[in-house]
Amino acid sequence: MKNDKNVLRTSIHNFFNEIINIFNNHSKSDKIPSPEKLLFEKRDKTSSSNIELNSFDVQIIPENGDIFNLTTRITFELSNICNYSLFHKKCPLFLENEKIILPSKIVYAVLDELGRYNYKGQIAYHNYNEPLIDPRLFKFIEHSKIKCPDSEIYFSTNGFYLNQIMVDELIEIGLNRLHISAYSKNEYKRLKRINIRIPHSVELVSLDERLNKVCNSSNSNNKNPCLAPFNEIIINRDAKISLCCLDWQRRYSFGDLHNQTLEEIMRDGNLINIYNRLSRGDRFLDICKRCDWSR
């Protein structure tokens, strides 16, 4: 019995060391790979493991050292404001009456915390919000680059406010990656003409019907591991940590950055328990049972 426990402990130790090594190896390279690439590598490792984990068995957040060893992206949802939401009846923001803004002091406090851990992953400024509508965005990007110079600063936008001067200035202060969703052919043509000297994409999209695609679908029987919520930590406009970007109703959210640090929330047993179960394919939450994705 004791021997079995030792074998299990060693296997778990090796398993998480492998995950940490993947992240570390990438961090040492000049270019940070996309979060999706890191995710697939980590998920492959998880899938090929036959380790049986029980809740709270694993200290996945080290007592000392890098608490972000499992994290490839930190996302700030700066508000619930988007200039297109009034036209888009299937946008979650269309249903909201009250404007909510994530306080600057919380964004700065988290960036300072990331800086203390020398965080090197991605820092993003979009979730269910249009980042360029927020007058504080430039300040946040500047501060991100000062505190985490090796991180990749990224956001996705509908491009409505974007022009050449703005792109140049964003790059100058530290923006590393940009995604633009153009919602009309004319906008697409205009945005494609902008010279963007960083990795970027411009995509022609439509105001789609995705609103309840996951929440209302039947069980998917998907048993693939999902690494949310530690792979991508989403700080929503309420200053809480969201389970993942699909949970637009914020049914599952954790902690409160108004009176806790990010580290305190990440060390919360409830969040660790959810990560442990999802990361081995145990999709026990209602939204996860219906979901075809992995994050």
β-bridge pairing 232-235 and 241-242: antiparallel
Q: Rank residues 120 and 290 by Cβ distance to ligand SF4 and give the closer one.
A: 290
How far is residue 152's CA from residue 148's CA, in Å, rounded to a whole number? 9
Site of interaction with ligand SF4 (CB under 6 A): 226, 228, 243-244, 246, 278, 283, 287-288, 291, 293-295
The answer to whether 264 and 212 are in contact (CB under 8 A) is no
* CA 89/CA 98 separation, integer angstroms: 16
Residue 95 DSSP code = G
Q: In terms of CB distance, is 167 or 274 closer to ligand SF4?
A: 274
Smallest distance, ligand SF4 to C-beta of residue 155, A? 20
In the complex, the smallest distance separating the C-beta of residue 224 from ligand SF4, rounded to whole angstroms, is 8
Smallest gap from Cβ 85 to ligand SF4, in A, equals 22
Q: Which two tokens stand for residue 37?
A: 């690439």
Least Å from the CB of residue 271 to ligand SF4: 12
Alpha-carbon Rg of the chain, whole angstroms?
A: 20
Closest contact distance (angstroms) between CB of 107 and ligand SF4 is 23
Note whether 252 and 268 are within 8 A (CB).
no
Looking up tokens 């694993």 gives 58
Nearest residue (CB) to ligand SF4, 143 versus 283: 283
Classify residue 6 as exposed, middle or buried by CB count within 10 Å of its CB (0-12, 13-18, 19+). Answer: exposed
* Closer residue to ligand SF4, CB minimum distance, 138 or 293: 293
Give the Cα separation of 2 and 6 in Å (integer).
6
Q: Which three-class secondary structure string do you get for 138-178?
A: HHHHHHHHHHCCCCEEEEEECCCCCCHHHHHHHHHHCCCEE
Is 246:214 a contact under the CB 8 Å cutoff?
A: yes
**What is the closest distance, in whole angstroms, from the C-beta atom of residue 39 to ligand SF4 in the complex?**
10
Pick the closer one to ligand SF4 by CB: 143 or 295: 295
10 three-class SS: helix
Nearer to ligand SF4 by Cβ, of 100 and 215: the residue is 215
> Distance between the two ends of the chain, CA-based, in angstroms?
36
Residue 19 or 287: the one with the smaller Cβ distance to ligand SF4 is 287
Minimum distance from residue 163 beta carbon to ligand SF4 (Å): 34
Tell me how far, at minimum, the Cβ of 222 lies from ligand SF4, in Å: 7
Q: Looking at beta carbons only, is 115 or 281 nearer to ligand SF4?
A: 281
| Residue tagged 């404007």 (tokens) | 99
Copy the structure tokens of residue 179.
Answer: 């995604």
